[in-house]
Chain A
Amino acid sequence: AQKVTQAQTEISVVEKEDVTLDCVYETRDTTYYLFWYKQPPSGELVFLIRRNSFDEQNEISGRYSWNFQKSTSSFNFTITASQVVDSAVYFCALSEALTLGNQFYFGTGTSLTVIP
């Protein structure tokens, strides 16, 4: 079974629009961690944010914000006032604390294109 689901394969928005990337996860662990990574055309996966399962506070960092809801097993990512540089593939990932050695499960990614 897929542990991390990113239902949106591709999204296109016009510059300055807001966009939300969805992530739904599945785990039986009570302690786990969620992450978002950005993969620009250069190919390197860049770490954006991590969240632990005990902290449901939403977080804002500049134009980025994250909405973590345990009740729906979702960890959505919103970019406000999108810019062309935001164009990339975004991956949501889950790390379960009971899994030895911090194994990560990645979603299939959402390709975001910001049109100038």
Chain B
Amino acid sequence: EAGVAQSPRYKIIEKRQSVAFWCNPISGHATLYWYQQILGQGPKLLIQFQNNGVVDDSQLPKDRFSAERLKGVDSTLKIQPAKLEDSAVYLCASSLISVADSPSSYNSPLHFGNGTRLTVT
């Protein structure tokens, strides 16, 4: 099966500019995640979608970050305006789990894309 697709692979922008990242999850995966991974740290969840609805966006800096998954398939993450501290790898992941599933399905692993490496100068 095709994996999680992300683009672009790399992006360099100046601070205060805008940038957008795209993710296409594995076909049939209901849940989609955006993670931010700063160099030397573990992935930090930004937002989680279940189909086209937001499950958790508590750690998304909403004054500058936005994300959507309008048709419940692919997703876009935007940063506007970017700051120097936004330099990181942005990872998209998907999983099979559905909120209607029983707790026993919470073991669905996340499948990650290759990520987008953002450098803000």
Contact = CB atoms under 8 A, between A and B. Distances in A.
Contacts of A43: 89, 114-115, 117
Given A43-B115, A100-B99, A106-B43, A33 B110 contact: no
Interface string A81-116: 000000000010001111011111011110000000
A47 B96 CA distance: 14
A74 B113 CA distance: 28
B109 A101 contact: no
A95 B106 contact: yes
Nearest to B54: A101
Interface string B34-60: 000000111111001010000110000
Interface of A: 4, 31, 33, 35, 37, 42-47, 50, 52, 91, 95-98, 100-104, 106-109
Given A50-B107, A91-B42, A100-B55, 4 more contacts: A35-B110, A44-B114, A101-B97, A106-B43
